[in-house]
Chains A and B, each alone.
Chain A
Amino acid sequence: MEAGHWKAPAALVASGAVGATRPAVELREVSRRYGRGRQAVRALDGISEQFPAGTFTAIMGPSGSGKSTLIQCAAGLDKPSSGKVMLGDIELSRLREPKLTKVRRRHIGFIFQAFNLLPALTARQNIVLPMELDNRPVDRDFFETITRRVGIEGVLERRPAELSGGQQQRVAIARALLPRPRVVFADEPTGALDVRTARSVMQLLRASVDELGQTLVMVTHDPAAAAYADRVLMLVDGRTVDELLWPDASTVASRLARLEG
């Protein structure tokens, strides 16, 4: 099915998806400042958002709008200057190491723009690494399901240097999904890919939401990628200024252009 024509699962609609389902992640008055005094930069400015379970949310905005900062705070990779980040009933923003890392690797998946696979390990070893770090046994059936679904079952013993960009990103997706996290965050997952590969990756991500009930939050500057989402949030100057539900690519593009204008 083409981008822009995806519909939310029936169950999601019937339940009054947005706003009704307990959010997988919630930001409450979250601010993030860098620097001090006059030179301080306010990357997030008291933002409050919910990311319902089982939904696919895209975050967009002009350069410097705070979208990467939002996703980093939401994923527990960065600490907000104020406000709360809730992962279900866990307040991420109050956790300290090593508990924060343990919560992250168990409940949060992350897909990077630059794939960020460990070069010394094979694809298989990269995928199971978070589970091994958590001393959790790998569900072999689920592993095979995921790897087959993302289409990398034939390259599992290769190292990242021996894989194409698309294959590396698929490995990264499998790594993020295998632990069955509550939420997966993706930061420009198609940024380093060509158009065709990007499309296939977006289809995979969409399928993870539809078939596995995964919650997915994605930062992107690509309207075509955003069109795969259930919801698109527009950020400007660290605040949410607009929201689109199940938009198509051209709607996203025009809204974005207006913001940047």
Chain B
Amino acid sequence: MRISHLIRSMLHRRGNIAGSLVAQTLAVAVMFATLLLGYSSGQGPGITYRYADADAVVRISPTRLLGVASDMVPEAFAFRMSDETIQALAAVDGVAAVIPDRTFRAQVLDEQGSPIVVDGHDASTGQAWRTAVLTPFALLAGEEPQREREVVIDRAIAEAGDVHVGDSVEVLTQASTETYTVVGIAAPPAGDALPRQVSMFFSEATVEQLAPTSQGTVVAGVIFEDSVDESAVLEGIRTVAAEHSLEVLVGPDRGRADLTAGAGELGDLGILFLFLGAFVGFVAIFVIGSTFGFAIQQRTREIALQRAIGYTPGQVRRAIALEAAVIGLLGGVMGVGIGTVGAFAFIEVMQVAGRAPDELSLHFWANGIWVVLIASLAISQLAVFLAGRRASRIRPVIALREGAARQRVVSPIRTVIGGALVACAVACLAIAPSVDVEGAIGISFLVTICGTVGIACLAPTLVYLGSSFADLLFSRRVRATTRVAIRNGRARAARAGSAAGVIVLTLGFATLIACFNATLESGVVAETRRALQADIFVVPQAEVLAPAAVEVVRDIDGVDAVSASYDFAGLYVGEDEGMVEAEDVLGRAVDPASMGDIVDVPFEAGSWDGLEPGTVIVTAELASWMGLDVGSSWTVTMPDMTEIEVHVTGVVRQPVANAEALFTIQDVLPHLIDPTITEMLVTVEPGAQVEEVIAAIEAAGKTGMPMAVVDKEDYIAGLNAGLRENAWAGNLIIGGAAAFAGIAAINTVVMSTWERGREFSMMRLIGSLERQILQMVNAESILLALSASAVGIAIGVLSATVVSIGLVGDASALTVPVVQVGVYGAIATLVIMLAASSSARARLRDVAVTTDQGAA
């Protein structure tokens, strides 16, 4: 088999090859782009704001401290380093200063007692003035704080609150709300404040009160002396770091310790990109397989001729595999280039849209090129594996037959695989009632994957059967061109099945995501209404809502009961087969006396009655993972690094407000470094007016405890808004996959229509007008797209039912956004119709009215 023959053959069939190359290139482009995005997210911020002027930044390394075997260390848990560690670092030769950055929540209040909010800056922190050198913050006016009750604020706060040097302001912290004198205004090198965060600076004495040394330090900045050998100093620091389980961050890595929200978002984005890449990769394999398979189908006659001349089946397979490898390599190289540009553009767009932090920047991973090229080759080989085997079994006698080679519609392997997948989907539906909401979400995706891929495998058979059925029922009632279109569907079922499969897959997932978001909203609403017996919901309006607020609210006329909750991150350290593992625990500390009266959640074991100091209620998933049951003992490390032992008293089916474990306030509060109330659930006395109680609580909050107070309906509306806000990630995934699949479907339709030149020519010969041929093509594409869309949408809706079952136990929460889903189906139909119609028009211009079958 000569390479020159292969290349000549490919050049001769460049139209056929182009379709496969487009699909391959797009797939590689998307995969490489998501690979780069994921890699970039994993590199950390790459930008340092807070510690830009620190020569190094140190913090506890969980890997070293715990001896955890893997790199999956808990993010939420903030490890604290001791004073001794700080002193050891300061003693290193060449170190001028080690500055512990003991940051605490603090917020400036306006004259009405409301927090001064700076647009786009969600966090507000306080720290010692000596930490200003790490950024550095420079004084623009006034002087540094030296006494208690003195504060320097950043320019953003000053401008937002119209605050000047010499003014008195209320500053809310966890400890108290006190009056401070503004002695200075400062700003970082670029801008009025750090990104997404406003800062204020206090004297050492004040900080000692508000964030005592005894609480430990999370991050420390290190300043070197002038004119030292930096590498030698770093070596000294690393020696200390090894002894004290620290990690040393230099250069861009210092941004990992930054407190700005962006650093944390990167981890979430990395997961999003991983899902995006995996999902698109899955769609890509399917689409490339379809496109390659279709391209090989178009060559049936040519392959039969090759067999007649003397190609053995093995030689046919090798030729096809070699061709696929060439396409895989070419597509891979082009895809890498396009993907790089795409990733860069994607970051820019996401940042402009406010969906990605400024800290996300593109890092080019050179080794990723090899990964993607190898993947591209592997995918192309996988894609042609089955098609190549089928092609090698084409009988040479087909080359001798006039007319189109008859396509076998029912492929046994496809039928078996498709049937098995559909059966798997049905089985998943059957087990849906027995899982919790997270399990239900997973199952819904599994149902969609199995259902859509299974139907796609069976698509040629279904198209054949559907067309036969339609021909039987409707052919006499429709016009001639539609009648021909229905019969063409049956005759060309194998080809139509390729395009239909892609539509089913894409619409299935698009519908699932749309219904998922809508059902989640509906389910959350229903469950919240049912589960929460509170009349009023109180959340912090500022950075801090101190525990003292509970008594303030409890004392208000009309208030019957108040149940406060504190969210925190605990740490579980355990051993599994000799390896230390650590996981952070999303915990919530609740009031055991009142929680059970206000929140009604289904228990799998135990009940609220057992919750008391020394006990914990866990989710079923956590219990299963940890091997816990009612009565089990569990040791958890608190944020101040002390361990508490609790006993499991109950297992709930679903998380309560995202918490995996519910502890008592009595057990947890003493160990929280910077406790702030997450929310208070309030019930009113019989006969009391909810609106009046709300007003009273808001008024009480004006005295230095800013509180956002809403009734139940507004609370639920807020939940919905939050869910909608987060829906963009799912829409992004489905949008990316839909765009890719859409291009691939267009590709297939165009290729399929283009090859019908002779058929169009013969129809013209027997008297068809061009208009009638186009009507026929349009009818075919509409029938195909509508049917496939309907099936895909049905699978998506069915899968979303599982989500409803997981949320509320039955399908009552299932919400189908009819307009949105209808638009999806309409777009799919329109796109397919336009692709087929445009291709047919172009082909009709090319073909002559002749039946000559000589060389083209």
**Are B312 and A116 touching (Cβ within 8 A)?**
no
**Are B8 and A121 touching (Cβ within 8 A)?**
yes
Task: Decide if A2 is an interface residue (CB 8 Å cutoff).
Answer: no
Please, how many angstroms separate the alpha-carbon atoms of A78 and B395 in the complex?
8
Task: Decide if A197 is an interface residue (CB 8 Å cutoff).
Answer: no
Q: Interface code B295-326, partner A: CB below 8 Å = 1, 0 otherwise? A: 00000001001111111111100000000000
Task: Decide if A129 is an interface residue (CB 8 Å cutoff).
Answer: yes
Residues of B within 8 A of A72 (CB): 397, 400
Measured CB to CB, the closest approach of chain B to A231, in angstroms, equals: 23
Measured CB to CB, the closest approach of chain A to B301, in angstroms, equals: 9
Residues of A within 8 A of B13 (CB): 120
Q: Interface code A131-147, partner B: CB below 8 Å = 1, 0 otherwise? A: 01110000000000000
Task: Decide if A41 is an interface residue (CB 8 Å cutoff).
Answer: no
Contact of A116 among B5, B11, B305, B315 (CB under 8 A): B305
**Beta-carbon contacts under 8 Å, A104-127 to B:** 104-105, 110, 112-114, 116-121, 125
**Are B308 and A110 touching (Cβ within 8 A)?**
yes
**Are A121 and B5 touching (Cβ within 8 A)?**
yes
Contact of B308 among A77, A102, A160, A168 (CB under 8 A): A77
Please, how many angstroms separate the alpha-carbon atoms of A168 and B854 in the complex?
10
Q: Which one of B12, B397, B400, B855 has the highest number of Cβ atoms from chain A below 10 Å of its Cβ?
A: B400
**Are B312 and A102 touching (Cβ within 8 A)?**
yes
Task: Decide if A187 is an interface residue (CB 8 Å cutoff).
Answer: yes
Task: Decide if A68 is an interface residue (CB 8 Å cutoff).
Answer: yes
Measured CB to CB, the closest approach of chain B to A87, in angstroms, equals: 15
Number of interface residues of A (CB under 8 A): 32
Please, how many angstroms separate the alpha-carbon atoms of A36 and B603 in the complex?
64
Number of interface residues of B (CB under 8 A): 29
**Are B314 and A119 touching (Cβ within 8 A)?**
no
Measured CB to CB, the closest approach of chain A to B356, in angstroms, equals: 49
Residues of B within 8 A of A175 (CB): 309
Please, how many angstroms separate the alpha-carbon atoms of A78 and B396 in the complex?
8
Please, how many angstroms separate the alpha-carbon atoms of A165 and B855 in the complex?
10
Contact of A129 among B11, B309, B854, B856 (CB under 8 A): B309
**Given A120-B9, A121-B5, A161-B855, does the pair A68, B310 have CB atoms closer than 8 Å?**
no
Please, how many angstroms separate the alpha-carbon atoms of A125 and B11 in the complex?
16
**Given A72-B400, A98-B314, A104-B310, does the pair A132, B8 have CB atoms closer than 8 Å?**
no
Task: Decide if A97 is an interface residue (CB 8 Å cutoff).
Answer: yes
Please, how many angstroms separate the alpha-carbon atoms of A63 and B309 in the complex?
26
**Are A114 and B853 touching (Cβ within 8 A)?**
yes
Residues of A within 8 A of B477 (CB): none
Please, how many angstroms separate the alpha-carbon atoms of A121 and B9 in the complex?
8
**Given A72-B400, A133-B315, does the pair A116, B308 have CB atoms closer than 8 Å?**
yes
**Given A77-B308, A78-B397, A160-B855, does the pair A101, B5 have CB atoms closer than 8 Å?**
no
- New A-B pairs, 18, CB < 8 Å, besides A119-B855, A121-B9: A97-B312, A98-B312, A101-B307, A101-B310, A101-B311, A101-B312, A101-B313, A105-B309, A110-B308, A113-B400, A116-B305, A119-B12, A121-B8, A133-B311, A133-B312, A161-B855, A168-B855, A187-B400
Instruction: Pick 28 A–B contacts, CB within 8 A, sort by A.
Output: A68-B400, A78-B397, A98-B314, A101-B307, A101-B310, A101-B312, A101-B313, A102-B312, A110-B308, A113-B400, A116-B308, A116-B399, A118-B305, A119-B12, A119-B855, A120-B5, A120-B8, A120-B9, A121-B5, A121-B9, A125-B5, A129-B310, A132-B1, A133-B1, A133-B309, A133-B310, A133-B311, A160-B855
Interface residues of A (CB under 8 A from B): 68, 72, 77-78, 97-98, 101-102, 104-105, 110, 112-114, 116-121, 125, 129-130, 132-134, 160-161, 165, 168, 175, 187
Interface residues of B (CB under 8 A from A): 1-2, 5, 8-9, 11-13, 302, 305-315, 395-397, 399-400, 853-856
